[in-house]
Copies of this chain bind each other. A is one copy, B any other.
């Protein structure tokens, strides 16, 4: 492989479905209707689901959280407010300042991300973590 390109690993739509289903199952168990989005390493949407009763505007925030997590390669909602808003404004609203987005890592490499919205910060994160755990479970098997 030349230096002019690189081999990278990317979440497939089948992998994204596993993440989504793991997240939805968790949200159902918690009794919290959620919006869940999964993006690939380029930030492009792979799968999305809005549970009955989830907030309407969360259809947009879930996707933006997933995009931000894959973009920044860390959980969303961690930066000081003024800096985070500054990045959001300077990027044409391509940066979520709020919690609920988590990168999906594999062997130290980023392969995609999940974004969850409609609950509290803690609920969103718990659901996102469950989605990632579901993927790890099927990969480890």
The answer to whether A94 and B3 have CB atoms under 8 Å apart is no
Which chain A residues numbered 18 to 40 have a C-beta less than 8 Å away from chain B?
A: 18, 40
- Shortest Cβ distance from residue A106 to the other chain B in the assembled complex, whole angstroms: 7
Contact flags A81-108 to B (C-beta < 8 A → 1, else 0)? 1111111111111111110000000100
Stoichiometry, as copies per complex, reads: 4
- Inter-subunit contact A57/B138 (CB<8 Å): no
B6 and A52: CB pair below 8 A? yes
CA distance A103 to B93 in the complex (A): 24
CB distance from A80 to the nearest CB of B (A): 10
Partner of A4, one of B40, B47, B61, B138: B138
Residues of B near A91 (CB, < 8 A) are 57-58, 60-61, 64
Q: Apart from A4-B14, A47-B47, A82-B97, what 9 extra A-B contacts exist at CB < 8 Å?
A: A4-B138, A4-B139, A5-B11, A42-B42, A43-B56, A45-B50, A57-B72, A58-B71, A64-B92
Question: Which A positions have Cβ atoms within 8 angstroms of B?
Answer: 1-15, 17-18, 40-52, 55-61, 64-65, 67-68, 70-73, 77, 81-98, 106, 111, 117, 135, 138-139
